[in-house]
Structure 1
Amino acid sequence: MELLGQRWILRALWELEPGPLGFLELRRRMGNCSSSTLSERLQQLQNAGIVEKRVDKTYELSSAGIELGAALQQVWGWSERWSAHLVTCSALD
Protein backbone atom coordinates (compact mmCIF):
# COMPACT_ATOMS: atom_id res chain seq x y z
CA MET A 1 0.00 0.00 0.00
CA GLU A 2 2.88 2.36 0.69
CA LEU A 3 3.88 2.19 -2.97
CA LEU A 4 0.42 3.29 -4.12
CA GLY A 5 0.60 6.34 -1.86
CA GLN A 6 3.69 7.72 -3.57
CA ARG A 7 3.28 10.67 -5.88
CA TRP A 8 2.81 9.79 -9.57
CA ILE A 9 2.29 6.05 -8.99
CA LEU A 10 -1.48 6.08 -9.49
CA ARG A 11 -1.16 8.42 -12.45
CA ALA A 12 1.34 6.08 -14.14
CA LEU A 13 -1.01 3.14 -13.57
CA TRP A 14 -3.91 5.17 -14.97
CA GLU A 15 -1.96 6.05 -18.12
CA LEU A 16 -0.77 2.46 -18.65
CA GLU A 17 -4.23 0.95 -18.17
CA PRO A 18 -5.30 1.21 -21.84
CA GLY A 19 -2.10 -0.42 -23.10
CA PRO A 20 1.69 -0.22 -23.44
CA LEU A 21 3.45 3.12 -23.71
CA GLY A 22 7.01 4.19 -24.33
CA PHE A 23 8.80 6.28 -21.74
CA LEU A 24 8.56 9.56 -23.66
CA GLU A 25 4.85 9.18 -24.39
CA LEU A 26 4.14 8.23 -20.79
CA ARG A 27 6.08 11.25 -19.56
CA ARG A 28 4.21 13.53 -21.98
CA ARG A 29 0.89 12.26 -20.68
CA MET A 30 1.94 12.76 -17.07
CA GLY A 31 2.54 16.49 -17.41
CA ASN A 32 4.77 17.85 -14.66
CA CYS A 33 6.42 14.55 -13.69
CA SER A 34 10.18 14.79 -14.24
CA SER A 35 12.03 12.14 -16.21
CA SER A 36 14.02 11.08 -13.16
CA THR A 37 10.91 10.72 -11.00
CA LEU A 38 9.06 8.78 -13.69
CA SER A 39 12.05 6.50 -14.15
CA GLU A 40 12.18 5.88 -10.40
CA ARG A 41 8.43 5.19 -10.19
CA LEU A 42 8.54 2.78 -13.12
CA GLN A 43 11.43 0.93 -11.51
CA GLN A 44 9.47 0.66 -8.25
CA LEU A 45 6.43 -0.64 -10.12
CA GLN A 46 8.61 -3.17 -11.95
CA ASN A 47 10.20 -4.31 -8.69
CA ALA A 48 6.71 -4.80 -7.22
CA GLY A 49 5.68 -6.88 -10.24
CA ILE A 50 2.97 -4.41 -11.29
CA VAL A 51 4.58 -3.10 -14.48
CA GLU A 52 6.74 -4.89 -17.04
CA LYS A 53 9.18 -3.46 -19.56
CA ARG A 54 8.71 -5.13 -22.91
CA VAL A 55 11.37 -6.05 -25.44
CA ASP A 56 10.36 -3.01 -27.53
CA LYS A 57 11.14 -0.87 -24.44
CA THR A 58 7.52 0.06 -23.81
CA TYR A 59 5.94 -0.33 -20.40
CA GLU A 60 2.75 -2.27 -19.71
CA LEU A 61 0.80 -3.53 -16.76
CA SER A 62 1.63 -7.08 -15.70
CA SER A 63 -1.17 -9.50 -14.82
CA ALA A 64 -0.89 -8.24 -11.22
CA GLY A 65 -1.07 -4.66 -12.53
CA ILE A 66 -4.20 -5.45 -14.52
CA GLU A 67 -5.79 -6.96 -11.41
CA LEU A 68 -4.78 -3.90 -9.39
CA GLY A 69 -6.20 -1.66 -12.12
CA ALA A 70 -9.56 -3.42 -11.87
CA ALA A 71 -9.62 -2.78 -8.13
CA LEU A 72 -8.64 0.87 -8.65
CA GLN A 73 -11.44 1.27 -11.22
CA GLN A 74 -13.86 0.37 -8.45
CA VAL A 75 -12.33 3.04 -6.18
CA TRP A 76 -12.39 5.66 -8.96
CA GLY A 77 -16.02 4.80 -9.74
CA TRP A 78 -16.95 5.19 -6.09
CA SER A 79 -15.10 8.51 -5.97
CA GLU A 80 -17.02 9.86 -8.98
CA ARG A 81 -20.36 8.77 -7.52
CA TRP A 82 -19.49 10.23 -4.12
CA SER A 83 -18.30 13.57 -5.53
CA ALA A 84 -21.51 13.81 -7.60
CA HIS A 85 -23.45 13.19 -4.39
CA LEU A 86 -21.54 15.98 -2.63
CA VAL A 87 -22.30 18.41 -5.47
CA THR A 88 -26.00 17.53 -5.25
CA CYS A 89 -25.99 17.98 -1.46
CA SER A 90 -24.19 21.33 -1.61
CA ALA A 91 -26.66 22.58 -4.26
CA LEU A 92 -29.46 21.92 -1.78
CA ASP A 93 -27.85 24.09 0.91
Structure 2
Amino acid sequence: MAVVDGKWKPLILWELQEGPKRFNALHRSLPGISQKMLTQHLKELQRHGVVHRESYHQVPPKVEYSMTDAGRELLDALGPLGDWATKHIAMIVAADQD
Protein backbone atom coordinates (compact mmCIF):
# COMPACT_ATOMS: atom_id res chain seq x y z
CA MET A 1 0.00 0.00 0.00
CA ALA A 2 2.97 2.33 0.51
CA VAL A 3 3.46 2.43 -3.26
CA VAL A 4 0.12 4.22 -3.76
CA ASP A 5 -0.14 5.86 -0.35
CA GLY A 6 -1.63 9.33 -0.45
CA LYS A 7 -3.93 11.43 -2.55
CA TRP A 8 -1.65 12.05 -5.51
CA LYS A 9 0.17 8.82 -6.40
CA PRO A 10 -2.81 7.06 -7.98
CA LEU A 11 -3.62 10.26 -9.91
CA ILE A 12 -0.02 10.51 -11.14
CA LEU A 13 -0.19 6.93 -12.38
CA TRP A 14 -3.55 7.64 -14.01
CA GLU A 15 -2.03 10.57 -15.92
CA LEU A 16 0.98 8.54 -17.03
CA GLN A 17 -1.11 5.73 -18.49
CA GLU A 18 -1.61 7.88 -21.61
CA GLY A 19 2.12 7.82 -22.28
CA PRO A 20 5.29 9.67 -21.27
CA LYS A 21 4.90 13.18 -19.92
CA ARG A 22 7.30 15.93 -19.06
CA PHE A 23 7.23 17.34 -15.54
CA ASN A 24 5.42 20.59 -16.40
CA ALA A 25 2.77 18.79 -18.47
CA LEU A 26 2.20 16.39 -15.59
CA HIS A 27 2.03 19.29 -13.13
CA ARG A 28 -0.56 21.08 -15.29
CA SER A 29 -2.69 17.93 -15.53
CA LEU A 30 -2.90 17.66 -11.71
CA PRO A 31 -4.42 20.91 -10.45
CA GLY A 32 -3.73 21.49 -6.78
CA ILE A 33 -0.46 19.56 -6.45
CA SER A 34 2.62 21.58 -5.60
CA GLN A 35 5.83 21.15 -7.56
CA LYS A 36 7.53 19.95 -4.39
CA MET A 37 4.87 17.28 -3.76
CA LEU A 38 4.93 16.13 -7.40
CA THR A 39 8.72 15.86 -7.31
CA GLN A 40 8.61 13.90 -4.04
CA HIS A 41 5.94 11.49 -5.27
CA LEU A 42 7.67 10.92 -8.61
CA LYS A 43 10.90 10.03 -6.78
CA GLU A 44 9.02 7.61 -4.52
CA LEU A 45 7.22 6.02 -7.46
CA GLN A 46 10.58 5.64 -9.24
CA ARG A 47 12.11 4.06 -6.15
CA HIS A 48 9.22 1.55 -6.05
CA GLY A 49 9.80 0.71 -9.72
CA VAL A 50 6.43 1.85 -11.10
CA VAL A 51 7.62 5.05 -12.81
CA HIS A 52 10.60 5.49 -15.12
CA ARG A 53 12.48 8.78 -15.49
CA GLU A 54 14.19 9.34 -18.82
CA SER A 55 16.70 12.19 -18.99
CA TYR A 56 17.71 13.40 -22.44
CA HIS A 57 21.10 15.09 -22.64
CA GLN A 58 20.24 18.11 -24.74
CA VAL A 59 19.90 21.85 -24.39
CA PRO A 60 17.53 22.72 -22.86
CA PRO A 61 17.44 19.60 -20.68
CA LYS A 62 14.48 17.30 -21.26
CA VAL A 63 13.08 14.79 -18.76
CA GLU A 64 10.11 12.52 -19.32
CA TYR A 65 8.25 10.28 -16.90
CA SER A 66 6.49 7.10 -17.94
CA MET A 67 5.00 4.01 -16.34
CA THR A 68 6.92 0.79 -16.16
CA ASP A 69 5.30 -2.59 -16.77
CA ALA A 70 4.95 -2.92 -13.00
CA GLY A 71 3.21 0.47 -12.93
CA ARG A 72 0.71 -0.65 -15.55
CA GLU A 73 0.02 -3.81 -13.55
CA LEU A 74 -0.49 -1.71 -10.44
CA LEU A 75 -2.92 0.59 -12.23
CA ASP A 76 -4.83 -2.48 -13.43
CA ALA A 77 -4.99 -3.71 -9.83
CA LEU A 78 -6.32 -0.32 -8.68
CA GLY A 79 -9.16 -0.46 -11.22
CA PRO A 80 -11.56 -2.39 -8.94
CA LEU A 81 -10.85 0.07 -6.12
CA GLY A 82 -11.79 2.93 -8.44
CA ASP A 83 -14.94 1.08 -9.44
CA TRP A 84 -15.86 0.65 -5.78
CA ALA A 85 -15.27 4.37 -5.11
CA THR A 86 -17.44 5.33 -8.08
CA LYS A 87 -20.24 3.07 -6.85
CA HIS A 88 -20.07 4.49 -3.30
CA ILE A 89 -19.17 8.13 -4.05
CA ALA A 90 -22.22 9.50 -2.19
CA MET A 91 -21.21 7.65 0.97
CA ILE A 92 -17.59 8.82 0.62
CA VAL A 93 -18.57 12.47 0.12
CA ALA A 94 -21.00 12.35 3.06
CA ALA A 95 -18.30 10.91 5.33
CA ASP A 96 -15.86 13.64 4.30
CA GLN A 97 -18.40 16.33 5.20
CA ASP A 98 -18.75 15.09 8.80
**TMscore range, shorter length:** 0.7 to 0.9
Q: How far has the Cα of 1:28 moved from its partner?
A: 0.5
Question: Partner amino acid for 2:40?
Answer: E
Larger proportion of helix: 1
How far apart are the structure 2 equivalents of 1:29 and 1:65? 19
> Is 1:61 aligned to residue 56 of structure 2?
no
Q: Which residue does 1:76 correspond to in 2?
A: 82
Question: Unpaired segments of 5 or more residues in structure 2?
Answer: 57-62, 92-98
TM-score (norm 2): 0.76
Percent of residue pairs bearing the same amino acid type: 32
Q: 1:29-78, CA deviations, whole angstroms, 9 ceiling, x for partnerless residues? A: 11111111100100000000010012441101111000001111222123
Structure 1: runs of 5+ lacking an equivalent = 87-93
CA distance in 2, matches of 1:16, 1:2: 19
Structure with bigger strand share is 2
Aligned match of 1:35: 35
Q: How many residues align?
A: 85
> Counterpart of 1:20 in structure 2: which amino acid?
P
Q: Which residue of 1 aligns with 2:94?
A: none
> Which range moves more in the overlay, 23-32 or 50-59?
50-59
Moved more, 14-23 or 37-46: 14-23
Match of residue 23 from structure 1: 23
Letter of the 1:2 partner, please give it. A
Q: CA RMSD in A?
A: 1.8
